[in-house]
Amino acid sequence: MNTYTCTYGIDWPSDIVAETPSKARYKYYLSLDIDERYSEVFRWLRSKLKHKFEVSDLYGNQYQFESMCKSRFIEFAFIGMKVEHRGKQGVIVGANCSQNLDVCFDGNYHSDNCHPYFEMKYFDNKGELIAIDGKLVKPTKKEG
């Protein structure tokens, strides 16, 4: 989700997280708790993009990730690595307390819990397949 700075007239600036500027304005209107209807005030509501969402916003703790890689024997993996799970493309953004990968799939604004051995394909920075279900297909240096 993107972050927008929204205002009503010249007062009350606020940062709102939303997918689009218009959704940010409406969410901001709801937070104002005013008696006027949206159709009467929407022309005075403004939204300006403050931060565009990037997958790197979801990157987790590097130490926890490295610890998980070592215990799961997938030392070749790195944060930012492209993966595929059941045909869906994504990027590794970290690890979680269940010793699984956190993966942000294309089109999502959140990470999903994925087991490193279950129907998972790993790709290097060139897009070449290097491992399937945690087992190397070809030798590689750790990137990242």
Number of domains comprising the chain: 2
Summarised one tens digit per residue, pLDDT across range 40-85 is 888 889 899 998 877 777 788 889 999 999 999 999 999 999 999 9
Residue 104 has pLDDT above 70, yes or no: yes
How many Cα atoms sit within 13 Å of 84 on the Cβ side? 11
Residues 48 and 61 placed together within one structural domain of the fold: no
Q: What is the pLDDT of residue 56?
A: 73
Q: What is the pLDDT of residue 10?
A: 73
Range 6-17 average pLDDT: 85
Q: What is the pLDDT of residue 34?
A: 84
Residues 44 and 61 placed together within one structural domain of the fold: no
Our measurement of the distance from residue 62's CA atom to the centroid of its chain's CA atoms, rounded to an integer in Å, reads 16
Residue 95 has pLDDT above 60, yes or no: yes
In a domain, 144, yes or no: no
Residues 32 and 17 placed together within one structural domain of the fold: yes
Q: What is the pLDDT of residue 139?
A: 64
Q: What is the pLDDT of residue 44?
A: 87
Residues 124 and 108 placed together within one structural domain of the fold: yes
Q: Which residues, at least 6 apart from 2, have a Cβ–Cβ distance to it below 8 Å?
A: 17, 18, 19, 20, 24, 49, 50, 51, 52, 53
- Give the range of the structural domain holding residue 90, as residue numbers without chain letter: 57-136
Range 112-132 average pLDDT: 94
Which of these three, 11, 33, 53, is where a domain ends?
Answer: 53
Among residues 105, 112, 114, the alpha carbon closest in space to that of 68 is found at 114
Residue 86: which CATH number? 2.30.30
Residue with the bigger pLDDT between 10 and 28: it is: 28
